[in-house]
Structure formats: structure tokens, C-alpha cells
Amino acid sequence: TPPPGPAGEENTQPGQTARPQCSAGYYCPEATLDSKTYPGPMGYYGQQASVTPTFMCPLGSYRNATRGQAAGDCFTCPPGYYCGDVGLTAPSGLCASGWYCVQNATAIQPGSNEGGRCPTGSFCPAGSSFATLCTAGYY
């Protein structure tokens, strides 16, 4: 068995002096023999030579798979939903009734760049991604 290596590197061969960096999408705590032992968890992404699951997916996104390697591996929150925290493994929930959420919304009642309040003369059930005009004679 090879001796333990430093964090962020793999020690796969006995007598190995030049150790490969931990693979992107994985993390290598101290004494890691194989980076594939520690896949980056859902909601995170990690670059090469990561010692811990380094980065949480940002607000307005989520990641429901392991081994993310870059921020672009986080999925944008879909229209009609909001992602109100970092490191999410799924959207936080549906946009509130009376409001609509476009892609990347971060609040259940989003601000103007992420959606907004349903305008007069339209309706927005929970989970709306756009306002629907009311039929003539209704409000």
C-alpha cells in the first residue's frame, strides 16, 4: 500500500513521488488513495486538486447530480420555480400565486429582473412563468 499523500492529491502507487492532482468533480482529503472514492456531492462543484467539496452552486441554480466540475455544471432554476439558497439539490419550490418567475429566480415573490407581480388584467397561478391575460369580462 502506498504511503498517505497530502490533501488534494492521489497516492495510487507505492514509492510514488510525483502524485497526480485530485480529479475535477472529486475531492481528496489527506491520505486519499483514489479520488474516485470521494465524488463531489450534489449541490456542489469542485475543480482539480480540491481538498473538500469546494463550491456550492450559486443562488438561482441547483445541481441534482454528483461530480460537478464548474459553476456551469449547476442547472439554472427553471421558469415557474425559484432557487432561494446556495448548494441546492432541487429548486426551492414554485413561484407564489399572484407572481411569475422567469429562469434563475431566487425568491418566491421575485423582483423585476427575475419575474414579478402579476399585472392587473392578468392571472398567475402558483408556478407561473409568465402572466396570462384575463378573458374579456373577467378579472
Residue 14 has pLDDT above 70, yes or no: no
- Angstrom distances, CA of residue 54 to CA of 18, 45, 75: 24, 7, 17
User: Residue 9's pLDDT is what?
Assistant: 59
User: Residue 24's pLDDT is what?
Assistant: 85
Q: In the structure, what pLDDT confidence band is assigned to residue 129 with cuts at 50, 70 and 90? A: very high
Strands (E), 24-109: 44-45, 55-56, 61-62, 75-76, 81-82, 93-94, 99-101
pLDDT, tens only, 80-115: 999 999 999 999 999 999 999 999 999 999 998 999
Burial of 14 (0-12, 13-18, 19+ CB in 10 A): exposed
Provide Rg for the chain, Cα atoms. 22
Question: pTM of the predicted model, to two decimals?
Answer: 0.81
